[in-house]
Every structure is written in C-alpha cells, then in structure tokens.
Structure 1
C-alpha cells in the first residue's frame, strides 16, 4: 500500500478515521488491529460523542490500549445528553456535515506530528502513551469522512478509503458521474419512484451484468442533489487507494473492473475484518 512507502521512520503511523456509527467503527477498528499487527503505529480517531460513550459503557481505562495504539477525538457537535442520537441516521448525517470539519482534524494531525518531532515534550491527549509518536504517514478514512481528503493534501500524505460495503455496490457508486450524465441520478422528482422509471435496464456498469435502476443503492436514487452520498461519490476518486470489505473469489469481475479503472486505482480486498482478531495469533 502506498502509505508504507512514504514513511522514513521504521514504524509507519496510520491515522484511522471511521464514520461515527457502530457498523462503520467496528470493521474499521478490526482493520486498524490488522495494521497494528503488521507493524504500524495506530491512532484511532473517534468523535467526542462516541469516545465518551465507550468510556461510559466499558470503563475509564477501556481505551488505553498499547503504547503504539492510541485513541484521539475530534468534535462532532452531538448533544452528550442524548445517548441514542447516533441511531437516527438522518440526524447523524446532518450533524456530521455541519460539525465534522477539516480544521479540528488538521489540528490533531499537527499535534501528532508535533509530539513526533520532540520526544522529550509531553502532550495532552485521550491516551497517555503517545509522547513518542512517529510522524503520520497515511490516513485510513471511511469513505464518508470527506474532510480527510483535504487533510491528506495539506500534509502531503496518502489517504486510503475504507469501503465497508461490497465491491459491486461500491462500483455503482463510482459510476455516479455516468448516471448523472445519462440523466438517471439524482431523480428529478418523487414521481420517478412509481412511474416505471426505475425499471430502466442498466447494462453498461463494468463487472456487473444487466440490472435495473431500482437495483442500485437507494442512496443514489435521491431527489436531493446535495445528498451526502452524492458528495461522497464525487470525492472518492481523489483517494490514493481503496480497501474494500470483500474477497476476490466472491466478486472477481467487479474487483477486476475496479482495479483496471483509472478513477479507482490501487484496490485492495480484505475479508473478513470481523474475523481478523481470532486469526492474528496463529498467523
């Protein structure tokens, strides 16, 4: 992966940024454990809401981790009094769009690199073993955390996008520009949902045989041109690499098509993040 080649320090440092929902955090954490097992220094970045939710549920020392596996936070704007707020997906997406921004993340990266440049200085953090961080060499980001792309450009480090969905679904997302050009997305109005428009056959998506428009992700079948999923699809090609939660034997045609595309270079399939932990000891 490209981020390994950038590091001048013997231990590369990957900063993981999951989307702040349980179904995204857990596989990202398993992937971070795999990177750690392969010799990476890890900084795992939760939002403040989720960080304190973990502490409340598991105890004040539950996120202390190892000296080279640290947890940090960035602000999210979610009310700490509402324990179940992240279960409301529309509200969560809206809060992320409004409150999760580039400047706090840039500050965090600067702090991590600052502690790397001065081993004798002590910095405040959510984990008390990060005085000797190696310099940040790559960012591993959920595909929906769009501000990480700008951070990678600012610091001159690669951004690897982690895709928690199947390769075939990701392929349909990558075809959004073509869907827009052909007038298929976003939907012009809600009448398209019931007038037979969704029965249109799509036979031109690489690696995917004939499907109907209604068979692609409902996230793309929105009538809102500013939908966060549409924005995410336009931003993805700027990433240096993509790690997809799949394996070649399951989706060979789609993974081959993604690998050969100039818009999605450096495709890596990792399966299954949920079972990595049980296999690390014997690997």
Structure 2
C-alpha cells in the first residue's frame, strides 16, 4: 500500500482547545492518546499561544510528525506587548465568540483540499474534538458536515458551576449581595 492510500485509511482528528494554558495542556494530552491509537492529528492553537510555545520550547519544537501537525488560527486580537503573560480572559472570550469561526472553517476547508491534492499524504478530516468552551466549532462542524465531540477539560464541580451559574443569576442568588461577610452560611434554596 502506498503512503497516500495508507494516509487515506487513517482517521483525521482536528483538536482545538480553548486559548488557556490548562485547556491546551489537557487537549494536547488527549490528542497524544488519539495519535497513539492511530489517528492523524491536527492540533489547532491561536497564533498567540502557538508563538508562546515556540518562544518557550524553541523554533522547531512544534515541527511534529507527518501525522501529528500543529496549525494556527488568528484570534483577531491586537498583539499583546507581554508575550509571557496570559491574554486578558474577557478579551479572549469575546474573540472566541466573534472572531474564530471564519478562520477555523477556512482551516478545515484547507485541510480537506490538501488531502485531495495528489502529492499530499494527509487524510481528509474525519472528526473534530473541540474544547467545550469553543462553541463556534459546532457551527463549523455543521457547515462542513463533520462529527464533533465536545471535550470539557475541567473538573465536574467546575463544569456544574459553569452550567448552573446562569440559573443562579436568573434567581437573583448570584452574584451574592449585601453586607454579609460570611456567605458560606447562606442557604441557597
């Protein structure tokens, strides 16, 4: 079997974490497990975080393997003057909802177009594993026609807090108000 035929028989997962260190670390570990099980992996970072990797680990640190590649998409934020600091969380969250869908969709199309080219040994994208905090990937997967798995790299307690917070705000329970200094003894009904 030639390398092109072998590549086309592999599943090709695109893995995209939220642009935060713990999310990137968890998705990278998960991607390595998928790769170990035979997947072709394309790991997608924002340009900001990709450049932080390169600065920290060296210019060739993300060269990867032929079947484990790193790609970047722009987050649409102005360049940060302090590359050693984490991006402002509120700006990054806003960028996720407003800026990342078009470049991510374009990357998926580019990966599939490259798989069709006669000289490429990369298989077409077969699925997306996305951080659950990257909802634009749902739209991209629907538009391209790919299955999507949402991965929440946080604890169960954090996930439940995240999911329940809007209800607590709606009921007027959160954020906590008043002059009480000890909110730990407050009964939440």
TM-score range, shorter chain: 0.7 to 0.9
Cα 1:80–1:172 change in 2 (3 A) is closer
Aligned to 1:201: 188
What is the rounded CA distance, in whole Å, between the counterparts of 1:57 and 1:143 in structure 2? 26
Identify the match of residue 153 of structure 2 among 154, 164, 172: 164
What is the rounded CA distance, in whole Å, between the counterparts of 2:173 and 2:126 in structure 1? 37
CA-CA distance at 1:71 after TM superposition: 0.4
Aligned to 2:113: 114
Larger relative contact order, structure 1 or 2 (CA cutoff 8 Å, min sep 6): 2
CA-CA distance at 1:118 after TM superposition: 1.5
Cα 1:92–1:175 change in 2 (3 A) is closer
What is the rounded CA distance, in whole Å, between the counterparts of 1:56 and 1:170 in structure 2? 32
Cα 1:138–1:78 change in 2 (3 A) is farther
List per-residue Cα deviations over 1:136-192 (Å, max 9, x = no partner): 111111111111010111111121111111224324444567x26x943684x7636
Contact 1:85 1:92 in 2 (8 A): no
Secondary structure at 2:104 match in 1: helix
Paired residues for 1:14-29 under 5 Å = 14-29=13-28
Contact 2:97 2:135 in 1 (8 A): no
Paired residues for 1:110-189 under 5 Å = 110-120=109-119, 131-175=120-164, 179=167, 183-184=170-171, 187=174
What is the rounded CA distance, in whole Å, between the counterparts of 1:36 and 1:102 in structure 2? 25
What is the rounded CA distance, in whole Å, between the counterparts of 1:105 and 1:53 in structure 2? 20
List per-residue Cα deviations over 1:219-246 (Å, max 9, x = no partner): xxxxxxxxxxxxxxxxxxxxxxxxxxxx
Aligned to 1:191: 177
Alignment length (residue pairs): 180
What is the rounded CA distance, in whole Å, between the counterparts of 1:186 and 1:36 in structure 2? 45
Secondary structure at 1:191 match in 2: coil
Is 1:44 aligned to residue 30 of structure 2?
A: no
Paired residues for 1:85-96 under 5 Å = 85-96=85-96
Cα 1:109–1:192 change in 2 (3 A) is farther
Aligned to 1:236: none
What is the rounded CA distance, in whole Å, between the counterparts of 1:135 and 1:35 in structure 2? 16
Paired residues for 1:43-82 under 5 Å = 43-76=42-75, 77-82=77-82
Q: Normalising by structure 1, what TM-score?
A: 0.56
Q: Normalising by structure 2, what TM-score?
A: 0.81
Contact 1:20 1:50 in 2 (8 A): yes
Cα 1:190–1:52 change in 2 (3 A) is same
